[in-house]
Amino acid sequence: MTSDKVHIIKSKKDFLSIAFVLIFVLIFIAKSERTEYFLNLLLTLIGLVFLYQLLWSLTGKVQLKIDRQKLYIKKSIIGVSFEKSYKLDEIKNIVLKKDSNANSYWNFGGLLIPDKNPTIIEFVHKDKKVIIGKGCQEFNGQQIINELKK
């Protein structure tokens, strides 16, 4: 795959979530010997979701490659990658917007700590909505959109 432009967007480091996950894992380990099977299973499933979020926050990245015909989106977490490609002439309604779901607030005894609200790129490809940048650090989305529209 040859590409004209490559953009790498790293995951957003959400340290409060990381601390919460570590506390959850410690509580899970301490309680696991004394809980019932169903509760253990439920805690394990919740723990796996938290573990994925932790690994994404620490090691995740999105790599965008744009060539003359396609956009390639490669998502990586702890060395495991998944790649999708989209023909540029099939990309419709591309917009840059604020990700309202990414604005997480932490409330500690009246102290409100807001997170940054990162931008995302959203477009439609074959009647499916595609989002780039969710859970990632700030990036220059307008530059990417300009390259896609060329």
Predicted TM-score (pTM) of this structure: 0.68
Name the band, by pLDDT with cuts 50, 70 and 90, for residue 1.
very low
Residue 14: DSSP 8-state: -
pLDDT per position as a tens digit, 32-58:
665 576 677 777 777 787 788 788 888
pLDDT above 50 for 5: yes
Q: Say how far apart CA 148 and CA 86 lie, in whole Å.
A: 11
Which of the pair, 66 or 13, is modelled with greater confidence? 66
User: What integer pLDDT is reported at residue 83 of this predicted model?
Assistant: 93
Instruction: With beta carbons less than 8 A apart as the criterion, state whether 28 and 40 touch.
Output: no
> What is the torsional sign of CA 40, 43, 45, 51?
negative
User: What integer pLDDT is reported at residue 129 of this predicted model?
Assistant: 92
Average pLDDT of the chain to the nearest whole number: 77
Name the band, by pLDDT with cuts 50, 70 and 90, for residue 31.
low
User: What integer pLDDT is reported at residue 34 of this predicted model?
Assistant: 59
For residues 114-125, average pLDDT: 75
How many structural domains compose the chain? 1
Tokens of 8: 């790498």
Tokens of 98: 């604020």
Q: At what angle do helices 15-31 and 37-59 cross, to 10 degrees?
A: 150
End-to-end C-alpha distance for the chain, whole angstroms = 19
User: What integer pLDDT is reported at residue 145 of this predicted model?
Assistant: 86
Q: What is the extent of the structural domain holding 44?
A: 5-149
pLDDT per position as a tens digit, 76-114:
998 899 999 999 989 999 998 876 555 454 444 555 555
